[in-house]
Amino acid sequence: MSEQESRDNAAADAVRQKYGFGFSWLVLMIALPPLVYYLWICVTYYQGELIFTSDAEAWRRFWSHVSPPTWQAAGLYAAWFLGQAALQVWAPGPTVQGMKLPDGSRLDYRMNGIFSFLFTLAVVFGLVTMGWLDATILYDQLGPLLTVVNIFTFVFAGFLYFWGLNGKQWERPTGRPFYDYFMGTALNPRIGSLDLKLFCEARPGMIFWLLMNLSMAAKQYELHGTVTVPMLLVVGFQSFYLIDYFIHEEAVLTTWDIKHEKFGWMLCWGDLVWLPFTYTLQAQYLVHHTHDLPVWGIIAIVALNLAGYTIFRGANIQKHHFRRDPNRIVWGKPAKYIKTKQGSLLLTSGWWGIARHMNYFGDLMIALSWCLPAAFGSPIPYFHIVYFTILLLHREKRDDAMCLAKYGEDWLQYRKKVPWRIVPKIY
């Protein structure tokens, strides 16, 4: 590793620790699992009402709904996780190189997400059609599955912690065991060709999210004899988002999580528990709420989703292509950029000349379009947009601090060239 790369890595590590939640990591690790249970119980047993009470007996009744693990849920999830791992390793797909690591090396990644995604849907459809699998099983087993996956992620994060203790010099842990358990000790833990972080980032969590949505729609049909327009919008929007993700799967290699974040409890639990069990809150809510939407409302929500997608995907693909080929045309003109002293290029044209994270702006528009079909009978379907806004604001600040530490004056010049962080003319 060169002296410059060593300095860059030290600066990045300092920023990672500064914005790595401080001591709040412990609060998050203790509070987030009960929060997911809380939201699920409110939606499933209290019609979406947020429960706040000082009555100890009422709280006892409330938490009595927490489901213990079952052998059926454990077997279902084990088969799911191992099956998706097998597809990650053996399914056909091109092999591409990731971004350069601090030691100058690049890792190979098998990009077979779209095949795995479609193959999984075909298998599940076949099992349901033949009567070997109940279409509503994920809804019916949601409580036990939530417990099983929580237990699994805590154990799996322990495995990841010990796996990374003997990693490369630039992956050195902080020496604070519980913090390192939370944030991770290895950037790219692998078992053979299976990259655990890339795998968990998408396959067992994101495809599971879609199957859970479909199970919610099946449950609504079973209970009410119909699948409502709001349910179709939510399932359709989120399915489109996931299909698009897997079509452009290679773009994930240039994201913050893959490039900078070590793989510990935070990402592991977020990928396997938080994502599938909270991103389905709108569908969970709609199972028992069969309201209609006016035509103008449907049109407005669809327009919001498509506009958000245009910005989100356009910005991400633009930067991905620029990193691969800086000479590529951007919006019909040669790309404009700032060349840093380290040799890195900072794109200042196209979407990236409007705001430093226009992709986040598009993502927030998409997130809001997922919430609006649930109407306004409960605040729980809007939990996603609130959480997602906080997440992206925090991530933008981490990214900004990381780039300032790495590029110095060049980053200050970039800030002047592109002053808006996420929302043009506002923030």
Question: Is residue 279 a contact partner of residue 384, using CB atoms and an 8 Å limit?
Answer: yes
pLDDT of residue 340: 87
Q: Percent of the chain beyond pLDDT 70?
A: 94
Residue 247 has pLDDT above 60, yes or no: yes
Same domain, 305 and 184: no
Query: For residue 416, is pLDDT > 80?
Result: yes
As a whole number of angstroms, the distance between CA 395 and CA 399 comes to 6
Q: Residue 90: which domain range? A: 69-292
Residues 158 and 180 in one domain: yes
Q: Are residues 95 and 107 in the same domain?
A: yes
Same domain assignment for residues 277 and 318: no
Q: Please check whether residues 266 and 321 belong to one and the same domain.
A: no
DSSP-based three-state secondary structure for 109: strand
Distance (Å, whole) CA 291 – CA 314: 34
Identify whether 11 is part of a domain: no
> Which of left, alpha, beta for 91 (phi over 0: left; psi -120 to 50: alpha)?
beta
Say whether both 176 and 262 belong to one domain.
Answer: yes
pTM greater than 0.75 = yes
Q: Does residue 395 share a domain with residue 360?
A: yes
Residue 287 located in a structural domain: yes
Contact assessment for residue 183 and residue 25, using Cβ atoms and an 8 Å cutoff = yes
Is there a single domain that holds both residue 301 and residue 389? yes
Q: Tell me: do 222 and 271 sit in the same domain.
A: yes
Report if residue 3 sits inside a domain: no
Please say which residue of 277, 292, 307 terminates a domain: 292
Query: Of 243, 263, 292, which one is at a domain's C-terminal end?
Result: 292
Number of domains in the chain: 2
Of residues 274 and 403, more confidence is placed in 274
- Same-domain check for residues 297 and 168: no
In the predicted model, what is the mean pLDDT of residues 244-251?
Answer: 89
Indicate whether 253 and 384 sit together in one domain: no
Q: How far is it, in rounded angstroms, from Cα 361 to Cα 354?
A: 11
Chosen domain end from 258, 277, 292: 292
pLDDT of amino acid 257: 81
Domain check: are 211 and 306 in the same one?
no
